[in-house]
Structure 1
Amino acid sequence: MARRTPHHAVALPPHGIHVESHAHGPDFKVARHVHACHSLIHVVSGQGRCVLGRAVHELLPGHAVLIRSGRAHELIDTPGDPMVVFVVYFSSAVFSRHRKLFEPVSRLATARWLPPPRARRVRQALRQMLHEQQRRALKFDAAIDHCLCSILVELHRVAVEIGNLPTDGDSPQRRSRQRVQNVVDYLADHYFETCNMAEAARMARLSQRRFRTVLRAVTGRGFSRHVHHLRLARATALLEQTALPVSAIAFEVGYEEISTFYRAFRREIGISPLEYRRRRMADVGEDITTEARRTRRNGVG
């Protein structure tokens, strides 16, 4: 007779969402089990593995994994580095209510690593959920639902932005290139966020060495140089098209120190941001004067 996987009962409140935080001890162990509700796990610190069915997924700080109801699973900590996790349990009614947000995440059927800015926003929302759950102030259930929606938006965006995953039928080289291209596409929209090469390699699920090699093949640049290139392309556009102060532009494109921005700008463009703006304004003025002279010669106006 087949051995049945034990159920772990979770008492959900009427609004259908319950959140917990767990700091695993050195001897933490939970046998393989299932829940009658859905759950979402987010790793704050430590590392380990999540066994989902027959698949084993690595868990590191920033990882999130969605576990559908009735799916057998277990968490296994890495010896000497136990995990601290948030777990959100929610009913099928909640899943149905937010289906458009859940579906892209659930289709991936894997643990997803969140870039640091997204992971910070997810942790902030989870802490707010715990606060609302404990305080039970007016409309606390609506506030908890709102926090869950904000978490799902972050996961949904990651699923869309970095979710164009290669298939098992692709060659290893093609899979690596596709994963790096996904990260390159992500950086094109998020160049202003703090992200280092180790985090980008983790996002691509490649070693740093492999990521560095493939990134150079895809972009022709190393990681730091590529991020600077994206930021400075936006900075030059802002210098040309707006009257924003240089300090505001530096902050907007992702530089926290104005001196770092000036050094990067000189290295990439060859002149200072102020000199670049002055020259571009002079070029525009000359173009306007030339066009006005041409118009007068043609007898227009």
Structure 2
Amino acid sequence: MGLYLEFPALDRDFPMRSFTNEGGVIVYPHWHKEIELIYVTQGRLNLGVNDVPIQMAEGEIYVINGGDVHYFLASPNSERIVLQFDLSVFQEFSLTEVEGKRLRDLFLEVVPASNDWDSDVAKRVAGLLQVIHEESFARREGYRYVVKAKLYEMLAVLDREVPKRVRDVAEDMTSKSQDTLEKLQQIFAYVEDHYQETITLQQVADHVGFSSYYFTKLFKRNMGITFMTFVNDYRLSKAKWILLNEETPVTEVAELAGFSSVKTFHHAFKRAMGVSPLKYRRTIFGNK
């Protein structure tokens, strides 16, 4: 399986999630625009980030920046907490463009492996990750306030106490340049905002300031698929989320996910998943 773009299933109003993964399953090379922190709670974990193999031990943390290509090898008897969040989770303070760039730069500059941090700092971040995970799992009343507070505290610790790396040109360039990643993020944001509407390649090319020809080449070169295939895949990911989390009739799911007709939705879904939307839902939940 080749490199693919992942769409973490994040709540638009609260774009973060925390979950556990056991290490027995291979996760193929992929990337996403969200920040990801890995905290190994059991055993040893083998992964790779931007083609660099990494082995993590129990208690260690690794920060994966948005745009970093990463994968996980089978690591039996291991377990990890995964925290994923979009930087927009910090936007209630109306960050200026300069402040937003500084926030992105923080995650680019931070030394990613906790075994290179002071041990007390690593323990503190691990504790914050544990609380964030427990609160996200239990979802008691007011859990979002606790999670948001811990995210901000973690941000302060990363900024103040975690060592930074001096970035040269080679370090600035991961699998995608930061400039290209920012353009891709603009494209993703546009699709997120308009996926329920008709979207054309020309509209998005104009939005990011490119000719349709250059936009087509840039997108295919960096994503490995055409832009319209990406839009279709995005709508399918939204449809799957609705099917798994809501009791919305399938006819309405098509509209909510941005498909032009129920027939188009059924055809696209069955081609991608091998089953109809209704059968997909029933396979997961049984005949309810």
- TM, length-normalised to structure 1: 0.44
- TM, length-normalised to structure 2: 0.46
